[in-house]
Amino acid sequence: MDNMKLANLLFPDVNLTPEDLELKYPPRELPEGARVTRFAPSPTGYLHIGGLFGALTDVLVAKASKGVSYLRIEDTDKKREVEDGVSAIINGLHAFGVDFDEGVTGFGTEKGDYGPYTQSQRVEIYHTVAKRMVENGLAYPCFCTADELTALREQQEAEGALIRGYFGKYAKCRDLSLAQIEANLAAGKPWVLRFRSQGDENKRISFEDLIRGKIEMPENIIDEVLLKSDGIPTYHFAHVCDDHFMRTTHVIRGEEWLSSVPKHIAMFKACGYKVPKYVHTAQVMKLDDESGDKRKLSKRKDPEAAVSFFVEKGFPKEAVIDYLLTLLNSNFEDWRRANPDADAMDFPFNLKKMGASGCLFDLTKLTDVSKNVISRMKAPAIYERVAAWARDYAPDYYAVFTRDPAFSTAILNIDREVPKPRKDIAKWDEVADYLSYFFDEPEADPALLPERVSPADAKAILSCCCAHYEPNEDKDAWFARMKSWCPELGFCPEVKEFKKNPDAFKGHVGDLSSVIRLAVTGRTNTPDLCTIMQLLGKQRVAQRLQRFAEKLS
């Protein structure tokens, strides 16, 4: 077979050589030990939480080694692609502050010297490498039709063949003569380019996965498709070309690709390229509500599978990232405790601390992490976040919340500048309800009165407060004032004393504040009541006290 002739016949328009590409994309000049990683999603319409998990790993692994991370869009499967798929990825990453050093930055924009970073724009590169493989006798055109391939599958099934696919005696086009190929091409028959595997089914390969250790598998013997009939590469071939010419050192990807490693290694070797280091990360799982079993997070069943869910609910990005890092690296929580205010992107990520088995995504734990994160934020920062979130996801509330920024910020500041701030907000979509009594008249429910306080006593408390409330007093003075009302109302000013002699009183000072709290806020549990009343002002407080008193009549 005249391979040079065949190569020219198949790729008449390819003028570049792999040597040209080597010069155009030289090895990167980076310090010893620097890692080059990439996040390589397909634009299928949304960013999966597992994708964010992978992207974060890529960025932190590169950063911790003073290397480079980049974003490559793998859009070779046009059937799975959706419009705006790239924007969903870019926006998803951006919303969580996961930024790459290089690669695609937006629709039609990118940065870096190793591009283009979108596979559909790299066809010339794939064809250049493919042509050289044909020249070297390591690839050949296959004209088998879909029907022929189906027949082959059925034959292998019927024979109970242990290895299935296009190889050896089944590979009908592997040994076509040049004359046959020329005739097929002249007849306009569609063709795919196949890898001419050199593998031996009796041999095994071994490689080191950086989180799974040494792995051994049978050599690849399948003549995999490299280029589809439209000239677009398969994932396998594009992976080899791209990770070589983008000079990736560490391929970090989902464990679903683990079984493909033998073919990838065979292809890297056939091209004469250094095999990158592989890291196959565990899937993000959840406990199925019904069966209680661990299963993959699925877009169809689990809204939290798409990162947009966290944006829409208003989880702060820091909370999502911190939570993902607790799942990703076993030493993250210790680091966070030692560095409570540090940027998570400065976490010294260690691949060795990554688990190989599927990690459980737990919304309840994320909620706890988020409450902690928000409890550490200052009121003006929370105001900005809530306003930005509401502008996009709750426009009616946006108008209410931003009408008086100083008022909203002051509300958010209640019980915040203290050694142990409250941990009661987990996400921005809770804020409207949490603060509702500042903006709407509350509907206090008499059933929520403390058990030992009768409606008549509650009314007496409310009217006493109405008559004697002084909004300019601080917390201590306010509490002293409530105590001063106790004897007349038949309540005990000291809780301890009440406990010693409960039958002597109707209740204690705490009951007064419970009744007033209920009238003013409609709730039994709120941040500091004294500050709430000051922010509402004397008149609104009085109206609410009266309104509730009337309800009790």
Q: Which residues bind ligand GLU (CB under 6 A)?
A: 40-42, 74, 239, 253, 257
Q: Which is nearer to ligand GLU, 9 or 275 (CB)?
A: 275
DSSP states of 178-225 as a string?
A: HHHHHHHHHTT---EEEE-----TT-EEEEEETTTEEEEEEPP----E
Q: Which two tokens stand for residue 452?
A: 């030992």
Q: Which is nearer to ligand GLU, 248 or 526 (CB)?
A: 248
* Distance in Å, CB of 283 to ligand GLU, minimum: 12
Are 128 and 193 in contact by the 8 Å Cβ rule? The answer is no
Residue closest to ligand GLU, measured at CB: 253
Going from the C-alpha of 151 to that of each of 147, 165, 193, the distances in angstroms are 6, 11, 20
Kind and range of the H or E run holding 95: helix 85-95
Residue 413's contacts (CB-CB under 8 Å, 6 or more residues apart) are 379
* Distance in Å, CB of 384 to ligand GLU, minimum: 34
Three-class DSSP category at 123: helix
Q: Which is nearer to ligand GLU, 119 or 531 (CB)?
A: 119
Q: Which is nearer to ligand GLU, 239 or 313 (CB)?
A: 239
Q: How far apart are CA 384 and CA 380, in angstroms?
A: 6
* Distance in Å, CB of 261 to ligand GLU, minimum: 11
* Distance in Å, CB of 21 to ligand GLU, minimum: 20
* Distance in Å, CB of 237 to ligand GLU, minimum: 12
Q: Which is nearer to ligand GLU, 42 or 156 (CB)?
A: 42
Q: Which is nearer to ligand GLU, 85 or 507 (CB)?
A: 85
* Distance in Å, CB of 114 to ligand GLU, minimum: 16
The full 3-state SS of 425-454, as one line of letters, equals: CCCHHHHHHHCHHHHCCCCCCHHHCCCCCC
Q: Which two tokens stand for residue 4?
A: 């040079």
**Closest-CA residue to 320 (of 381, 361, 376, 378):** 361
Neighbours of 217 (CB within 10 A): 14
* Distance in Å, CB of 208 to ligand GLU, minimum: 18
Are 519 and 462 in contact by the 8 Å Cβ rule? The answer is yes
Q: Which is nearer to ligand GLU, 41 or 85 (CB)?
A: 41
* Distance in Å, CB of 8 to ligand GLU, minimum: 32
Q: Which is nearer to ligand GLU, 257 or 393 (CB)?
A: 257
**Closest-CA residue to 70 (of 113, 107, 123, 122):** 113
